[in-house]
């Protein structure tokens, strides 16, 4: 009865959505993307990142005139480097020392730099990165303890099913792949739902409304997650061959948006909007190359002699020889270019500039030879759009990483029922700065007493890997050593004065202290 009611509700909802579609811009509202469209989009994005761009010039006589300048891939790499610059650290509450050590250990065992780089690269290219949590699959080689394994899933294998009116309400994650026997497999992480297949063997998802009795009343039960394995061989119907309950209230897969997108549960890539301009840039550069190649080996025209005469006089042989033309009225000339390539080069530069501007990155061409002369203010103005884009990404990535850390803490039996506050994500400095200028500014601020030494020093901790407490201890040790040296100097002066060596020698001892307090002066130096 519940399933029947759910089916009717879905049909009524679809009818209402169709009726309202003229007022909503057309089409039924959905945050999902057809699997075929998503596959084509992902393949294009992957190819353009790898430099496998659509050729813009036809090959003639087996010669490839097409040239690829992979600015799109460069924008992705710049974005990933800026996002992760200076390492990524996790700061749990001060009262959670054991949890902090646990989280740090999980990332160490999962090769944190490689893991986060792969995750960020997936986000930059495809727009939607994924983490998969595999409990107790990594062993600490020293303690033999088991820890969760973290996988940066290939986005091309994953599909998301969400609510029609809420893109954040995930109903299922589906991982699809095909083995060598052409058998299709789907590993599905789904919420409490019923999976159906229609007459065309397409997957249909409907809510499976479950209730439980609480104090004599039927209330909606807490949603659970199931791990299904769906198998299909050839043209045979799909079938669920295994279904395993997942014991936690969250799925073992987590996703996020790389950049915000409208009406889509998937995020935007770093170069979604520049592929068309990338093609135009490749066309101009390739065409310029074709022109240079043509006029480097130009066509020769000979007037006043027949083709037979050319062969008899061997005028059609290799370039670089000297020939005698029997007909005195014959003329020979090369096809020459009537203009230079300045306009083509300028157009190529303009297209490259447009690619970086739309991709919200900075090309080194815009800096030229002035890099060393740029102040911190000038650098921030120049990179303002890139920094703003990076800040948006860091908000989204920090939210996902904190949720991942929270789930890691829940998975561990050590802290069942305890606080699982994931703390904060600490990012490194996103922009290269003029260190000398910054230190001069800090010195001025200290002299004006608008900041204290601790505030300034702690700002350098993450950048240079030194802790404020360590610096203070080192300074205290140096001061203690200096005081000890000064005491030794005073005792030496008094000893020599008592021996009758006079003030002259005592002055020498005192003077030598400025250069090296530990230096020893012979007792009879002036005798």
Q: Where are the domains of the chain?
A: 1-30, 41-125+274-299+335-430, 130-255, 470-515
How far, in Å, CA of 324 to CA of 329, rounded?
Answer: 12
Model confidence at 331: pLDDT above 90: no
Q: What would the mean pLDDT of 112-135 be, rounded to a whole number?
A: 95
In degrees and rounded to multiples of 5, residue 126 shows phi and psi of -95, -20
Residue 7 has which token pair?
């089916």
> For 463-509, what is each residue's pLDDT tens digit?
666 677 777 788 788 878 777 766 666 666 666 666 665 555 545 54
DSSP state of 413: G
> For 31-69, what is each residue's pLDDT tens digit?
788 788 888 999 999 999 998 888 887 766 555 777 888
Mean pLDDT lowest among 48-62, 119-133, 250-264, 393-407 = 48-62
The DSSP result for 134-180, as a single string, is: EEEEEE-TTT--EEEEEEEE-GGGEEEEEETTEEEEEEEEEEEEE-T
Assign 110 a pLDDT band (cuts: 50, 70, 90).
very high
Q: How far is CA 66 from the centre of its chain?
A: 29
Model confidence at 394: pLDDT above 70: yes
Q: What would the mean pLDDT of 409-418 be, rounded to a whole number?
A: 76
Q: How far is CA 409 from the centre of its chain?
A: 25
Beta bridge partners of 256: none
DSSP state of 60: B
Three-state SS letters, 330-366: CEEEECCCCCCCHHHHHHHHHHHHHHHHHCCCCCHHH
Q: Greatest CA separation found in the chain?
A: 120
> For 141-197, what is each residue's pLDDT tens digit?
898 889 999 999 999 988 888 887 888 888 888 888 776 555 555 666 677 666 666
Q: What is the CA radius of gyration of the chain?
A: 36
The answer to whether 189 and 246 have CB atoms below 8 angstroms apart is yes
How far, in Å, CA of 156 to CA of 116, rounded?
Answer: 18
Burial class, 508, CB count within 10 angstroms (exposed 0-12 / middle 13-18 / buried 19+): middle
Q: What would the mean pLDDT of 408-431 be, rounded to a whole number?
A: 81
Count the Cβ atoms, other than its own, within 10 Å of residue 5. Answer: 10
Q: What is the pLDDT of residue 104?
A: 93
Helix (H/G/I), strand (E/B), else coil: 275 = helix
The answer to whether 434 and 370 have CB atoms below 8 angstroms apart is no
How far, in Å, CA of 145 to CA of 169, rounded?
Answer: 35
Burial 97-120 (b: 16+ CB within 10 A, else e): eebbebbeebbebbebeeebbbbb
Burial class, 48, CB count within 10 angstroms (exposed 0-12 / middle 13-18 / buried 19+): buried
Residue 363 has which token pair?
């090309």
The answer to whether 359 and 407 have CB atoms below 8 angstroms apart is no
Mean pLDDT lowest among 123-137, 171-185, 261-275, 471-485 = 171-185
pTM for the model stands at 0.71
Model confidence at 28: pLDDT above 50: no
Three-state SS letters, 276-316: HHHHHHHHHHHHHHHHHHHHHCCCEEEECCCHHHHHHCCCC
How many Cα atoms occupy the beta-carbon half-sphere of 135 within 13 Å? 12
Angle (nearest 5°) at CA 67 between 65 and 73: 160
Residue 524 has which token pair?
């009879």
Rounded to the nearest 5 percent, the helix, strand and coil shares of the chain are: 45, 20, 35
How far, in Å, CA of 521 to CA of 455, rounded?
Answer: 44
> For 202-228, what is each residue's pLDDT tens digit?
555 555 556 666 677 766 666 678 787
How far, in Å, CA of 451 to CA of 442, rounded?
Answer: 8
Closest CA to 206 of 417, 4, 507: 4
Closest CA to 174 of 148, 202, 147, 150: 202
């Amino acid at each position: 009865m519940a399933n029947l009611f759910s089916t009717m509700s879905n049909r009524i909802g679809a009818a209402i959505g169709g009726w309202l579609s003229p007022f909503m811009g057309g089409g039924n509202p959905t945050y999902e993307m057809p699997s075929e469209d998503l596959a084509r989009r992902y393949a294009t994005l992957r190819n353009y990142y790898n430099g496998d761009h659509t050729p813009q010039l036809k090959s003639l006589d087996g010669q490839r005139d097409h040239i690829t300048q992979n600015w799109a891939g460069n924008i992705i790499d710049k974005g990933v480097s800026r996002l992760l610059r200076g390492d990524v650290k996790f700061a749990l509450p001060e009262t959670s020392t054991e949890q902090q050590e646990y989280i740090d250990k999980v990332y160490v065992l999962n090769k944190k730099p490689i893991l986060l780089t792969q995750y960020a690269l997936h986000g930059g290219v495809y727009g939607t990165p994924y983490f998969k949590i595999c409990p107790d699959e990594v062993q600490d080689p020293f303690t033999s303890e088991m820890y969760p394994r973290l996988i940066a899933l290939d986005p091309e294998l994953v599909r998301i099913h969400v609510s029609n009116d809420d893109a954040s309400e995930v109903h299922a994650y589906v991982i699809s792949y095909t083995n060598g026997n052409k058998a299709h497999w789907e590993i599905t992480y789904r919420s409490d739902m019923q999976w159906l297949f229609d007459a065309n063997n397409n997957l249909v998802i409907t809510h499976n409304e479950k209730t439980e009795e609480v104090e004599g009343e039927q209330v909606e039960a807490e949603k659970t997650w199931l791990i299904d394995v769906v198998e299909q061989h050839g043209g045979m119907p799909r079938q669920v061959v295994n279904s395993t309950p997942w014991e936690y209230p969250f799925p073992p897969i987590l996703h996020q948006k790389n950049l915000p997108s409208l009406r889509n549960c998937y995020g935007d890539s770093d170069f979604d909007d520049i592929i068309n301009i990338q093609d135009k840039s490749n066309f101009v550069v390739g065409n310029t190359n074709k022109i240079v190649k043509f006029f480097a080996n130009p066509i020769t025209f000979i007037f006043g002699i027949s083709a037979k005469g050319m062969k008899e006089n061997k005028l059609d042989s290799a370039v670089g020889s000297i020939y005698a033309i029997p007909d005195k009225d014959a003329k020979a000339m090369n096809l020459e270019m009537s203009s230079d390539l300045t306009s083509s080069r300028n157009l190529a530069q303009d297209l490259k500039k447009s690619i970086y501007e739309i991709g919200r990155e900075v090309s080194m061409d815009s800096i030229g030879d002035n890099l060393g002369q740029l102040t911190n203010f000038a650098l921030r103005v120049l990179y303002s759009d890139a920094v703003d884009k990076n800040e948006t990404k860091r908000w989204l990535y920090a939210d996902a990483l904190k949720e991942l850390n929270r789930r890691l803490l829940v998975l561990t039996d050590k802290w069942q029922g305890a606080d699982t506050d994931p703390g904060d994500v600490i990012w490194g400095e996103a922009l290269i700065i003029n260190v000398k200028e910054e230190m001069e500014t800090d010195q001025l601020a200290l002299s004006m007493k608008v900041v204290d030494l601790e505030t300034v020093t702690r700002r350098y901790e993450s950048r240079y890997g030194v802790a404020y407490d360590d610096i203070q201890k080192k300074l205290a040790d140096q001061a203690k050593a200096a005081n000890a040296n000064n005491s030794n100097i005073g005792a030496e002066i008094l000893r020599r004065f008592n021996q009758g060596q006079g003030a002259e020698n005592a002055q020498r001892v005192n003077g030598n202290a400025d250069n090296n307090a530990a230096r020893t002066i012979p007792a009879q130096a002036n005798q």
